Amino acid sequence: MAAFLYRMGRLAFRRRWTVALVWAAVLAAVGLAGMTAPEAEEEPFSMPGIESQEAFDLMEERFPGAAADGATARVVFVSPNGEKVTAAENKKAVEAAIAELADGTQVASTVDPYESGAVSEDGSTAYTTVTYKVDAAGLTDASRGHLDESLEHARDSGLTVEAGGDAMEDMGGPSGTAEAIGVSVAAVVLLITFGSLAAAGLPLLTALIGVGISLFAITALAGPLGLADTTSTVAIMLGLAVGIDYALFIVSRYREERAKGRTAQEAVALATGTAGSAVVFAGLTVVIALAGLSVVGIPMLTEMGLGAAGAVVVGVLIALTLVPAFLGFWPDAILTRKDRKARRAGGTPRETRRVNGGTRWASFVLRRPLPVLLAAVAGLGALALPMTDLQLGMPGDEAKSTQTTQRRAYDALAEGFGPGFNGPLTVVVDARDADDPNAAAETVSERIGGTEGVVSVSPAQFNESGDTAVFSVVPTTAPTGQETKDLVNTIRGDRPGIESEAGATFEVTGTTAMNIDVSEKVQSALVPYLLVVVGLAVILLLVVFRSILIPLKAAAGFLLSVLASLGAVVVVFQQGHGADLLGVETTGPIMSLMPIFLVGIVFGLAMDYEVFLVSRMREAYVHGERPAQAVTSGFQHSARVVVAAALIMIAVFSGFIGDSDAMIKMIGFGLASAVLLDAFVVRMAIVPAVLALLGERAWWLPKWLDRILPRVDVEGEALTRPTGPEAEPAEKDLART
């Protein structure tokens, strides 16, 4: 591996114009494809293998057109000062507002609340549903403007008027603010780390090129594959973070080799052969973790995982080819100012200092490994404790800011009609085999309506064939409440008796039931996913480090960091501690997809730092240093760069905390906290402490396993093995290749 990458880096250095032009052509080609690609149609959320999805599919089959994905807006009217919306003046204002709403060019229908019974028992609240001919993505600016103007005109009458529904969602793309914040902080960190504008700018430039290629490629494929917006957002997030980090490691190793007196070409080749090997395997672990999300069986997770994995692959390829090519264009500009002056004066850059912050920290841990290990594990364990209170769900309008009209509409409906009104259950009765479909549907309705926790059941609506009925069930409790989940389980648990009595089958669906089913599916898939991904990565690390205990230690450290980060997410987003600081106004269940998505990404990133840090220790150990010396050498060369890489990732992920999308905000916080804990607690404290306690045993591998494992030479032993007693290692290897 190291020898192959050595030759690749040297070739990219020599053929830098060709490499640069090839990547420019790739960027231009995918850019053209992305800009000319037809706009992607928003695919409805689907979750194969759960009851609520099967019921929804049955509705689409038996009620063709009724389950159309036209956008809707639920407009809520609340009377002022204790008045009733049925009062003459208020009723007149409501009807005028509905008439104005119905006048929109894309409006399919509106409903009169006084005729449909959509007025609360106390008469304070009424609502209407505006249905559009197109989905939310197809709404024009004129239609959205007409909706907003109609709401404002209705408010002029003195009524409180709010609106929810997908027609109110902002369909615009990402603003780019998060990316700008991340890039700005990354630039500062790189400038401090390298002390050179060119050295700081090169990783940023190559990472942005990689992100551009990935983003255009996803945009071009979004239409044919039906990719969601979150696919590109997550790809940008990860592509930017790993792209900067991978280039950072190549550039850092290049400067280290130049400081030893290597020529620019030698330094590039050696950096690509050694640090590049770590980049390949680190990237491979990330790709395994992301692509492994497809085993969960959730299309949305599969899309996000594969899109992000593609961005990581692009980042690895750019680090191995375009970064060496750019180093060929500016071989000395990457060096520090002192080193450039030394070269102009005919000298050589100074050798890397033997003692730095990394060696001092490593020495501290090596002197007292057990206390450091116990303190780190205890701290992460304390952070992980809130995980025991984890509640999963899919946040809706209730999770939005109270400054939004969607949240105020949600609250008004809950106050006027009860907390369960915002999350009704939908029951689909399949009476195709029943002797009397009407009687069968009535029996199911009556039995479910008599269940404790049900407020009301709507009249059943039949399809044209008269063999399928649908009705709504309003719970007494909020959509995300545990009581509502218990109610769904109770109804499904009573199903055999109800179906036997009715002579027909039924299924429960709706947004609330869908969220419950999704949460249960994700929880059941988490353990198999962990076994697959962690198992593959442990095997990969076994090949890389040729050790039994180091891969197991890496996996254990990952579990600690991911549990602690999930605990931090629960503390903020569920329990509300410090939520105001992050702009989280409403706490509640954690997004169902969050744990498994966080596990996938964090595992890949955690293995990044494991490979980068421990590969330098392995390199020193292979070249003859004692275990404790190898730990110190690894920290001497890698600690500063790993810290910089972690700070860059934290900055990139933290930028997404300001996103208005609750899902992206939660992912950004979870990833930032996970990287913080994994890089600074697990890799910087637990790893050296464990290695110090294990000593020689850390690198133990049974002889029979050593014989059958492939040798990949990540530490670059072949590049530094002399061919003669007076041979210069790099020069002899260069001559050999």
Q: Could you tell me which of 362, 368, 381 has the C-alpha nearest to residue 613? A: 362
How far, in Å, are 397, 640, 664 from residue 657 at the CA level? 18, 26, 7
Is the per-residue pLDDT at 468 higher than 70? Answer: yes
Q: Which two tokens stand for residue 11?
A: 């070739």
pLDDT for residue 349: 52
Summary mean pLDDT of the chain: 82
d(CA 315, CA 321): 10
Q: Could you tell me which of 727, 711, 726 has the C-alpha nearest to residue 3? A: 711
Other beta carbons less than 10 A from residue 575's beta carbon = 13
CB 274 within 8 A of CB 619: yes
Which residues have CB under 8 Å from 117's CB, separation 6+?
A: none
- pTM value is 0.76
Is the per-residue pLDDT at 68 higher than 80? Answer: no
Q: Could you tell me which of 631, 633, 668 has the C-alpha nearest to residue 652? A: 668
pLDDT for residue 709: 82
Q: Which two tokens stand for residue 27?
A: 């960027």
pLDDT for residue 527: 80
d(CA 311, CA 217): 9
Q: Could you tell me which of 450, 472, 474 has the C-alpha nearest to residue 460? A: 472
Task: Name the phi and psi angles at 461, rounded to 5.
Answer: -115, 130
Instruction: List, for residues 299-333, the tens digit of each pLDDT value.
Output: 878 888 888 889 999 999 999 999 999 999 988 88
Q: Which two tokens stand for residue 542?
A: 């076994």
Q: Which amino acid belongs to residue 450?
A: G
Other beta carbons less than 10 A from residue 59's beta carbon = 19
Residue 119 DSSP label: B
Banded model confidence at residue 681, pLDDT cuts 50, 70, 90: very high
CB 23 within 8 A of CB 395: no
d(CA 597, CA 590): 12
Q: List the beta bridge partners of residue 206.
A: none
Other beta carbons less than 10 A from residue 346's beta carbon = 6
Banded model confidence at residue 737, pLDDT cuts 50, 70, 90: very low
- Identify the burial level of 674 via C-beta atoms within 10 angstroms of its C-beta, where 0-12 means exposed, 13-18 middle and 19 or more buried: buried
Classify 722 as helix, strand or coil.
coil
Other beta carbons less than 10 A from residue 699's beta carbon = 20
Q: Where are the beta strands (DSSP E) in 347-413?
A: 392-393
Measured torsion, CA atoms of residues 548, 551, 556, 557, in degrees rounded to the nearest 10? 130
Instruction: List, for residues 344-362, the tens digit of each pLDDT value.
Output: 665 555 554 567 788 899 8
Instruction: List, for residues 239-275, the tens digit of each pLDDT value.
Output: 887 888 899 889 988 988 888 888 889 999 998 988 8
Banded model confidence at residue 511, pLDDT cuts 50, 70, 90: confident
Q: Could you tell me which of 389, 451, 397 has the C-alpha nearest to residue 419? A: 397
Other beta carbons less than 10 A from residue 215's beta carbon = 21
How far, in Å, are 83, 90, 149, 151, 696 from residue 80 at the CA level? 6, 9, 20, 16, 77
**HSE toward the beta carbon, residue 258, CA cutoff 13 A:** 24
Q: Which amino acid belongs to residue 690?
A: V
CB 241 within 8 A of CB 648: yes
Which residues have CB under 8 Å from 241's CB, separation 6+?
A: 182, 605, 648, 649, 652, 653
Residue 466 DSSP label: S
